[in-house]
């Protein structure tokens, strides 16, 4: 069976080259006589994998030396709790509510501190990025939390549009757009991302945190939920998700080989333009997001008819265009065009959209 073009929002598609290398090394990793899945996390074999993955991530993201890179478990969801538990000082935090996951982070944060929604786009079903006024931000907040890309609704906060106070750490959930465009890491206090959208398989979450934010927490915070625990042990306090980290390391190598994050961004912009141009020039398909705020990673569109949407999804699958169904709160279709989605996949989708419109408009 030939591979499909997998437009899933997560777990998302991985580079075929990475999957092939993993397959080649599955039974015997570089002469070790073992799979990475079987290795002790204390072995020299795995230690090399672990250190190289961190080194390559630091290189492609240009992570400053005063930041720690942590490979954690529990998904981005667990970070909704770990962040307030670890960064709590004044007991206040500001949240920029631009989508499903931003709202979940805010609700979880409110369990542990005085969480303030400084702006929200929920009034229009998260179809835009609201203007964030500096006057709404609290200078004594422990952090400002943003979500740079909204996987469900398909909106994006580009670096130039980020508003924050110099003395308040900026925390960003980059789960669905990390490594897809260039961000200056030094502008953030903490960046986190679940791997399963743009880096690797589910099981590991990347946390990039400025060293001054890693401190002793309240004694009631569980040991495993303290950044200090993992920082002091180089993410090896307990058995890490070794195989997921190994695949992430292969993806980082693949990005380096293909020109780095800036090169990824250029290709992603081209892919997104191709798809949005098709939508904008269509009489059948319509985008669900206001144009200035469109995501480069998750493209939502509808026909306006549930029946036609279902027909499109079914026929797309028959053409090898898989996992195009939209999230339940949005409906229609969603094409997730992460780094590993080749240009050919987007071209195949656009071609099918035009054929479908010709037959059904």
The arithmetic mean of pLDDT across residues 13-24, rounded, is 97
**Helix, strand, coil fractions of the chain, as percent rounded to 5:** 40, 15, 45
Predicted pLDDT at 356: 97
CB 72 within 8 A of CB 78: yes
339, two tokens = 């780094």
Determine the pLDDT at residue 87.
Answer: 98
| Burial call 38-63: b when 16+ CB within 10 Å, e when fewer | ebebeeebbeebbeebbebbbebbeb
Q: Report the distance separating Cα 300 and Cα 327, nearest Å.
A: 9
What torsion, rounded to 10 degrees, do the Cα atoms 307, 328, 161, 163 define?
150
Band of residue 54 on the pLDDT scale cut at 50, 70, 90: very high
Q: What pLDDT, on the 0 to 100 scale, is given for residue 264?
A: 98
In this predicted structure, the answer to whether residue 230 has a pLDDT above a threshold of 70 is: yes
Clarify whether 309 is annotated catalytic: no
What is the share, in percent, of the chain residues with pLDDT greater than 70?
100
The answer to whether 197 is a known catalytic residue is yes
Q: What mean pLDDT comes out for the span 260-266?
A: 98
By the 10 Å C-beta count (0-12 exposed, 13-18 middle, 19+ buried), 227 is classed as buried
Domains annotated on the chain, with CATH: 5-12+259-360 (3.90.1150.10), 34-257 (3.40.640.10)
Q: Is the pLDDT of residue 27 over 80?
A: yes
Interval 43-65 mean pLDDT? 97
Which residues partner with 194 through β-bridges? 205
What percentage of residues in the chain have a pLDDT greater than 90? 97
Catalytic residue among 56, 68, 88, 101: 101
20 by Cβ neighbours in 10 Å (0-12 / 13-18 / 19+) ranks as exposed
* 264 CB burial (10 A radius; 0-12, 13-18, 19+): buried
For residue 147, list its beta bridge partners: 173
Helix extents (H) in 118-198:
none
- Cis check for the bond before 11: say yes or no (omega within 30 of 0): yes
The Cα–Cα gap between 78 and 11 comes to 17
How far apart CA 94 and CA 149 sit, in angstroms, is 18
**Burial class of residue 11 (count of CB atoms within 10 Å of its CB; 0-12, 13-18, 19+):** middle
Selected catalytic residue, list 68, 197, 271, 325: 197
For 67-125, how does the pLDDT look when each residue is reduced to its tens digit (9 = 90+)?
999 999 999 999 999 999 999 999 999 999 999 999 999 999 999 999 999 999 999 99
- For 31, counting Cβ atoms within 10 Å of its Cβ (0-12 exposed, 13-18 middle, 19+ buried), the class is exposed
Q: What is the pLDDT of residues 332-345, one digit of tens each?
A: 999 999 999 999 99
Note the pLDDT of residue 121. Answer: 96
Is 121 within 8 Å of 112 (Cβ atoms)?
no
Whether residue 1 is predicted with pLDDT greater than 70 in this model: the reply is no
Q: Which of 173, 254, 271, 325 is the catalytic position?
A: 173
Residue 330 has pLDDT above 70, yes or no: yes
Could you give the CA distance from residue 179 to residue 261 in angstroms, rounded to a whole number?
Answer: 6
CB burial of residue 191 (10 Å; 0-12, 13-18, 19+): buried
Active site residue 283: no
The two structure tokens encoding residue 178? 């990390």
Global pTM reads 0.96
Which DSSP helix (H) or strand (E) runs through 189?
Answer: none
Residue 136 per-residue DSSP state:
G
Helices (H), the chain: 16-24, 44-61, 75-87, 100-109, 227-232, 242-257, 260-280, 306-318, 343-360
Alpha carbon of 219 to those of 22, 122, 192, 222, 233: distances in Å?
41, 36, 24, 8, 19
Task: Give the separation between CA 5 and CA 322, rounded to whole angstroms.
Answer: 6
The DSSP call for residue 287 is E
pLDDT at position 211 is 98
Provide the mean pLDDT of the chain: 96
- pLDDT value at residue 360: 93
Q: Which two tokens stand for residue 268?
A: 């992603």
């Amino acid at each position: 069976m030939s591979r499909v073009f997998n437009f899933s929002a997560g777990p998302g598609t991985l580079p075929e080259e990475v999957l092939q290398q993993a397959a080649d090394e599955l039974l015997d990793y570089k002469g070790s006589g073992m799979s990475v899945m079987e290795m002790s996390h204390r072995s020299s074999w795995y230690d090399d994998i672990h250190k190289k993955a961190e080194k390559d991530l630091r290189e492609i993201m240009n992570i400053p030396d005063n930041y720690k890179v942590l490979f954690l478990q529990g998904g981005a969801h667990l970070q909704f709790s770990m962040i307030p538990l670890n960064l709590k000082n004044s007991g206040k935090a500001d949240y920029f509510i631009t989508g499903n996951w931003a709202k979940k982070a805010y609700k979880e944060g409110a369990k542990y501190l005085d969480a303030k929604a400084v702006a929200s786009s929920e009034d229009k079903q998260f179809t835009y990025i609201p203007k964030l006024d500096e006057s709404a931000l609290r200078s004594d907040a422990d952090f400002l939390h943003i979500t740079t890309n909204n996987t469900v609704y398909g909106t994006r906060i580009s670096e130039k549009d980020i508003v924050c106070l110099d003395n308040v750490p900026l925390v960003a959930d980059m789960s669905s757009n990390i490594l897809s465009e260039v961000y200056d890491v030094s502008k953030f206090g903490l960046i986190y991302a679940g791997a399963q959208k743009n880096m690797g398989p589910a099981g590991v979450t990347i946390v990039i945190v400025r060293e001054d934010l890693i401190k002793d927490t309240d004694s009631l915070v569980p040991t495993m939920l303290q950044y200090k625990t993992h920082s002091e042990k180089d993410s090896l306090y307990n058995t890490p998700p070794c195989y997921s980290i190994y695949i992430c390391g292969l993806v980082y190598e693949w990005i380096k080989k293909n020109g780095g994050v800036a090169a990824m961004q250029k290709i992603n912009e081209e892919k997104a333009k191709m798809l949005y141009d098709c939508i904008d020039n269509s009489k059948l398909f319509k985008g669900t997001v206001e144009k200035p705020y469109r995501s480069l990673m998750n493209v939502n569109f509808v026909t306006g008819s549930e029946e036609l949407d279902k027909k499109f999804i079914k026929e797309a699958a028959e053409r090898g265009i898989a996992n195009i169904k939209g999230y339940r709160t949005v409906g229609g279709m969603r094409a997730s065009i992460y780094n590993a989605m080749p240009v050919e996949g987007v071209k195949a989708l656009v071609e099918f959209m035009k054929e479908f419109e010709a037959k059904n408009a």
